[in-house]
Amino acid sequence: MMNMDQIREDLKTKLSAERFEHTVSVMYTAAALAMCYHGDVRKALLAGLLHDCTKYMSREEHITFCERADVPLTEIERQNKHLLHSKTGAVAAELTYGVTDIDILNAIRYHTTGRGEMSLLEKIIFTADYIEPTRRGLKGMDEVRSLAFSDLDQCICQISRNTLDYLHAIKAPVDQRTQDTYDYYSVK
């Protein structure tokens, strides 16, 4: 496996300056959440660093990448580049960067939609991606950020609700996993 410095330097050449800043911010936010919830800080740093590692790809490149790696895609995923990068990111983390830890790979795979019964690391990356300091203009961000450090499950519920509200408002298709995440965490 490449070390964190090598991965960071590689991503710096592949991602836009803004995306790289977001990535580093997610990495450190994930570490803070891991410390708060007694998680594995090293895993949180690595998953945060790699969560958007294929964000530079076009929709067509994501689809081709998934087809070559035998990664099944739903029709909604095929239509939405923002959903595809989670799947290609998990595959690239394994094949390009040498990550073999399934928890890290799942944290990358589900960081956009979430899922029911997420591991602590999955919850941390899902949340860190949403609350990191460079994110601006999202509904109720102060409340969500506060909740992130006091009740992670309720925070995930709020993030999922905000995402669903946004997707409904712009009349965008909703990935079933996003709905499942809200349904699961809204009754916890």
CATH number for the domain that contains residue 122: 1.10.3210.10
Structure confidence at residue 137 (pLDDT): 77
In a domain, 164, yes or no: no
Number of domains in the chain: 1
Query: How large is the C-alpha radius of gyration of the chain?
Result: 15
| pLDDT score of 139 more than 80 | no
Structure confidence at residue 168 (pLDDT): 96
DSSP per-residue codes, 97-141 = T----HHHHHHHHTTTT--TT--HHHHHHHHHHHH-TT--S-TTH
What would the two tokens of residue 21 be?
Answer: 């800043």
Pairwise CA distance, residues 28 & 133, whole Å: 10
In a domain, 181, yes or no: no
Q: How confident is the model at residue 1 (pLDDT cuts 50, 70, 90)?
A: confident
In a domain, 62, yes or no: yes
| pLDDT score of 109 more than 80 | yes
Structure confidence at residue 34 (pLDDT): 98
Average pLDDT of the segment spanning 89-94 = 97
| pLDDT score of 81 more than 90 | no
In a domain, 161, yes or no: no
| pLDDT score of 112 more than 80 | yes
In a domain, 103, yes or no: yes
Average pLDDT of the segment spanning 149-162 = 97
Pairwise CA distance, residues 4 & 29, whole Å: 16
Structure confidence at residue 136 (pLDDT): 84
In a domain, 145, yes or no: no
43 — phi, psi (to 5°)? -65, -40
Pairwise CA distance, residues 156 & 6, whole Å: 31
Pairwise CA distance, residues 131 & 138, whole Å: 9
For residue 156, the one-letter residue type is I
In a domain, 93, yes or no: yes
Structure confidence at residue 2 (pLDDT): 87
| pLDDT score of 182 more than 80 | yes
In a domain, 66, yes or no: yes
* Residue range(s) defining the domain that contains residue 56: 4-138
Using an 8 Å Cβ cutoff, are 33 and 146 in contact? no
Residue 171, classed as helix, strand or coil, is coil
Structure confidence at residue 80 (pLDDT): 87
| pLDDT score of 152 more than 80 | yes
